[in-house]
Amino acid sequence: MTGPVDDVGARTGGSASLVLTVVGLYLRRVGGWMSTSSLVRLAEEVGSPAPRTRSAITRLKRRGVLVSERRNGSAGYGFDPAADAMFQRGDRRIFGPRTMDADEPWCLISYTVGEDQRGLRHQLRRALHGIGCGAVAHGLWICPDHLSGEVEGILEDLGLRRRATLFQVDELRTPGPAAESIARWWDLEELGALHRRFQEAVADLLPAEHAPDGRADDGRAYDVEAFRRYILGMDAWRDIPYLDPGLPEHLLPADWPGARSVELFHRLQGELADRSLRHVLQVVETLR
């Protein structure tokens, strides 16, 4: 799966985002290819009309995520090979949310990008923000050290590795309480609001209802509903493990909602993921 760092221009909840969520979750799990009719059908089931879905697909092609491919006479889409690493990074973030322990080190990122390359500097700042880094000062950012590999990947991709130095730091010696500095370096109010929006969305999706009885028709109907709920829930979740780096609990407000969001994410996985996949496999088999 993928998230905001990849800059595919998908606003959570919109057609582009829903299509990206379906693609990121399932295209690899159904053999790396899906017919156009399957993708349009699945997107319709989560509220994206066919014209908007087709526009979203075109956008993902332009962004280097999807490529057109025909199989057995049917039009469809596979992944652009260049997008593979992006989706692997997304999987690690989205399905393995991590919280930094109090004794883990930090990573400081110091860089110099001149005014004559302000566009490149803006890309770097946006990318660092998009993986959960905090801004300490002009040209100095911070993140949990377990994100340092992603930082180096961003610098390499932008051709800026020789203009940046990364430091591993065991202790923050701030002018006041460290929690106050954390609140300046990260927008905790916006991150908290992101968590609360996710929790509100999932409240309408969980707990999942059980199929009324054992009849096949009821089971299929429930699988469709499980798919709808799961995609909407995952679409709402997808940005959180990117933008929230999982800061140590003792440096966050007492009522921080992060742990509750992670709990709800795991419930979403446990209660809906299997039935959702079963529905996708059925649609792909029928509309191949």
Q: Could you tell me if residue 217 is inside a domain?
A: yes
Quick: pLDDT tens for 204-237. Answer: 898 644 444 434 445 667 799 999 999 999 999 9
Let me know whether 125 and 200 are in one domain.
no
Let me know whether 195 and 265 are in one domain.
yes
| Mean pLDDT score, 79-86 | 83
Domain containing residue 31: 4-86
User: Which class for 187: exposed (0-12), middle (13-18), buried (19 or more C-beta within 10 A)?
Assistant: middle
Q: Could you tell me if residue 243 is inside a domain?
A: yes
DSSP code of 144? E
Quick: pLDDT tens for 102-135. Answer: 999 999 999 999 888 999 999 999 999 999 999 9
Domains: count for the chain: 3
Tally Cβ neighbours within 10 Å of residue 65. Answer: 25
Let me know whether 275 and 223 are in one domain.
yes
- In whole angstroms, give the CA distance from residue 11 to residue 17: 6
Let me know whether 193 and 282 are in one domain.
yes
> What secondary structure does DSSP assign to 209-250, as a single string?
PPPSSS-HHHHHHHHHHHHHHHHHHHHHHTTHHHH-----GG
Q: Could you tell me if residue 63 is inside a domain?
A: yes
**According to the model, what pLDDT value does residue 5 have?**
39
Let me know whether 231 and 276 are in one domain.
yes
Residue of higher predicted confidence among 147 and 3 = 147
Let me know whether 191 and 281 are in one domain.
yes
Let me know whether 269 and 225 are in one domain.
yes
Residue of higher predicted confidence among 196 and 208 = 196
Q: Could you tell me if residue 177 is inside a domain?
A: no
The CATH number of residue 51's host domain is 1.10.10.10
Q: Could you tell me if residue 36 is inside a domain?
A: yes
Q: Could you tell me if residue 101 is inside a domain?
A: no
Does residue 10 have a pLDDT over 70? no
Q: Could you tell me if residue 28 is inside a domain?
A: yes
The CATH number of residue 161's host domain is 3.30.70.240
